[in-house]
């Protein structure tokens, strides 16, 4: 017999903000998951833990998703574990190698709250004869406004993490923009957008997405779009300050 709180979950991603957000989503229903930001760190944790399910980014800095899955499956503790790949890239380009390496699915980022928990329910309990719910699964309510600043009424861990990470993101982005370092600019913005996909901040997310897609098309005049991101971040900060827990 297994309860939600006994499920062992490992989350792997080099995007610290995204990792924190995913962890927060998992913790609402399950035990605190383990996390890793590199393939080597993930392998070390699999060697010393028996996980029920692993969610892994397939574009880690030290190894790709297919090779990591192969290495995990070669370990004693990894033979039976379910691995689900996560990617911000075209699924057609990456799915087949990952499935051939032992993953059961490759999903596009972001995973929303119901999908994440459905996957855990489907795969983490597959070897259990009976599952005991520690509490009913929560459903998040989404307001149906057009691009609201924040889609919830109270502060939460996800918004707290975002408010802490925005100043560094804006400063790093400004420096890369001044240096015309498009490679660094894309990397910084891609990581922020990946995190924003898990936050209830559609207006800011849209501005960052537009900024990212424009620089990926090699359009040189990015200053005005950066200012749009700064303004959206300021609006988010003001709205956040009016909220309570």
- If asked whether residues 41 and 94 sit together in one domain, one would say yes
- If asked whether residues 97 and 175 sit together in one domain, one would say no
The enclosing domain of 65 has a CATH number of: 3.40.50.2300
- If asked whether residues 115 and 207 sit together in one domain, one would say no
* Distance of alpha carbon 95 from alpha carbon 210, whole angstroms: 26
Residue 30 lies in a domain: yes
- If asked whether residues 163 and 109 sit together in one domain, one would say no
The enclosing domain of 230 has a CATH number of: 1.20.120
Residue 27 lies in a domain: yes
Identify the pLDDT of residue 144.
37
Identify the pLDDT of residue 79.
92
Residue 144 lies in a domain: no
Q: What's the structural domain count of the chain?
A: 2
- If asked whether residues 110 and 190 sit together in one domain, one would say no
Radius of gyration over every alpha carbon of the chain, rounded to an integer in angstroms: 19
Number of Cβ within 10 Å of residue 198's Cβ equals 24
Identify the pLDDT of residue 194.
82
- If asked whether residues 94 and 209 sit together in one domain, one would say no
Residue 150 lies in a domain: no
Identify the pLDDT of residue 5.
59
Identify the pLDDT of residue 62.
92
- If asked whether residues 49 and 165 sit together in one domain, one would say no
- If asked whether residues 189 and 115 sit together in one domain, one would say no
The answer to whether 66 and 95 are in contact (CB under 8 A) is no
- If asked whether residues 123 and 30 sit together in one domain, one would say yes
The answer to whether 232 and 204 are in contact (CB under 8 A) is yes
Residue 152 lies in a domain: no
Residue 228 lies in a domain: yes
Residue 181 lies in a domain: yes
Q: Could you write out the three-class secondary structure of the chain?
A: CEEHHHCCEEEECCCHHHHHHHHHHHHCCCCCCEEECCHHHHHHHHHHCCCCEEEEECECCCCEHHHHHHHHHHCHHHCCCEEEEEECCCHHHHHHHHHHCCCCEEEECCCCHHHHHHHHHHHCCCCCCCEECCCCCCCCCCCCCCCCCCCCCCCCHHHHHHHHHHHHHHHHHHHHHHCCCHHHHHHHHHHHHHHHCCCCCHHHHHHHHHHHHHHHCCCCCCHHHHHHHHHHHHHHHHHHHCCCC
* Distance of alpha carbon 11 from alpha carbon 84, whole angstroms: 10
Range of the domain at 33: 2-132
Residue 145 lies in a domain: no
Instruction: Tell me how many degrees the CA angle 78-79-82 measures, rounded to the nearest 5.
Output: 70
- If asked whether residues 109 and 218 sit together in one domain, one would say no
Q: What is the pTM of this model?
A: 0.71
Query: How do the pLDDT tens digits run along the chain, 245 residues long?
Result: 445 557 899 999 988 888 888 888 888 788 889 999 999 999 999 999 999 999 999 989 899 999 999 999 999 999 999 999 998 777 888 899 999 999 999 998 877 777 888 898 888 766 444 344 444 444 343 333 466 888 877 787 888 889 999 999 999 999 999 998 989 999 899 889 888 887 888 899 899 989 988 888 877 678 899 999 999 999 999 988 888 87
Which whole-number Å values give the CA distances from 102 to 71, 78, 97, 199, in the listed order?
10, 10, 9, 30
């Amino acid at each position: 017999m297994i309860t939600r709180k006994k499920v062992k979950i490992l989350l792997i991603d080099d995007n610290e903000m995204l990792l924190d957000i995913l962890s927060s989503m998992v913790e609402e229903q399950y035990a605190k998951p383990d996390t890793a930001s590199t393939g080597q760190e993930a392998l070390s944790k699999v060697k010393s833990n028996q996980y029920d399910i692993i969610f892994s980014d397939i574009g880690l800095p030290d190894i790709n998703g297919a090779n990591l899955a192969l290495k995990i499956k070669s370990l004693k503790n990894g033979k039976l574990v379910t691995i689900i790949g996560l990617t911000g890239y075209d699924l057609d380009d990456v799915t087949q190698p990952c499935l051939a390496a032992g993953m059961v699915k490759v999903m596009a980022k972001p995973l929303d709250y119901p999908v994440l928990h459905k996957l855990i329910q489907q795969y983490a309990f597959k070897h259990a004869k009976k599952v005991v719910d520690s509490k009913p699964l929560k459903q998040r309510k989404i307001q149906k406004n057009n691009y609201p600043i924040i889609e919830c009424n109270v502060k939460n861990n996800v918004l707290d993490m975002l408010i802490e990470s925005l100043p560094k993101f804006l400063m790093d982005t400004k420096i890369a923009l001044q240096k015309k370092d498009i490679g660094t600019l894309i990397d910084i913005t891609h990581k922020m957008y990946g995190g924003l996909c898990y936050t209830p901040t559609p207006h800011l997310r849209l501005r960052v997405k537009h900024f990212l897609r424009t620089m990926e098309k090699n359009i040189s005049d990015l200053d005005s779009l950066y200012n749009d991101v700064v303004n959206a971040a300021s609006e988010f900060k003001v709205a956040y300050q009016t909220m309570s827990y």
